[in-house]
Amino acid sequence: MNNPEFLRALLQQERPLFVKVVGAVVERGLDHRPDPKSRSVRELLSHIIGHGFDLAELAEDGVVHHRNQMPFDSLADAAKLMDESFAAAIEKLGATDVTRWGETADFFVGDQRVIQAPRQQVAWILFLDAIHHRGQLTTHLRAIGGKVPSLYGPSADEPPPAH
């Protein structure tokens, strides 16, 4: 398995977990912000959604025009967009020519290039950053009245099934 295939396999594994976390958010908690410097729940969701579309653009073009905030109308819409963004990344990674994986990629925030590095490095930065922000999001869930879902194993809110 080469590098883009491995990343694609991980995205296939993680895609339903991203959607699962969106499903744990409660509507009344979207504007929860634990500190003035922190992102709100809504901002975290809209930021993570952009990462999948960024990965798709990177795989296809070698350039990312970072989607820092992807607006959504409802939690159902956020879940749909989250699923679509990672589906797009999975699809585009499936068509990635591994010989182009080492080529230089550009990552733009607005008009400013903030990263210039091999495509594989930018892809992994995006993936790991999405996981990081998902973790931040899960720390908000109990504070807003939600339950933390199991992701890699049971959580206090979603224990293992009784045998």
For residue 31, the model assigns a pLDDT of 97
Q: Mean of the per-residue pLDDT values for the chain? A: 95
Q: Considering only CA atoms, which of 2, 120, 122, 151 is closest in space to residue 51?
A: 122
Count of domains for the chain:
1
In this structure, is residue 24 part of a structural domain?
Answer: yes
Supply φ then ψ for residue 94, to 5 degrees: -65, -25
CATH of the domain at 52: 1.20.120.450
> pLDDT tens-digit profile of 113-163?
999 999 999 999 999 999 999 999 999 999 999 999 999 999 999 888 777
Cα separation, 131 vs 119, whole angstroms: 19
In this structure, is residue 78 part of a structural domain?
Answer: yes
Cα separation, 136 vs 34, whole angstroms: 11
Average pLDDT for residues 77-105, to the nearest whole number? 94
Work out the percent of the chain whose per-residue pLDDT is above 70.
Answer: 100
Domain holding 20, by residue range, is: 3-144
Cα separation, 63 vs 78, whole angstroms: 25
The yes-or-no verdict on residue 93 having pLDDT over 80 is yes
In this structure, is residue 162 part of a structural domain?
Answer: no
For residue 159, the model assigns a pLDDT of 83
The neighbour count for residue 161, using CB atoms within 10 Å, is 6
Strand order in the sheet with 63-65: 63-65, 104-109, 112-118
Supply φ then ψ for residue 105, to 5 degrees: -115, 150
In this structure, is residue 151 part of a structural domain?
Answer: no
Instruction: Provide the residue type at 75 as one letter.
Output: L
The yes-or-no verdict on residue 97 having pLDDT over 90 is no
Total-model pTM? 0.93
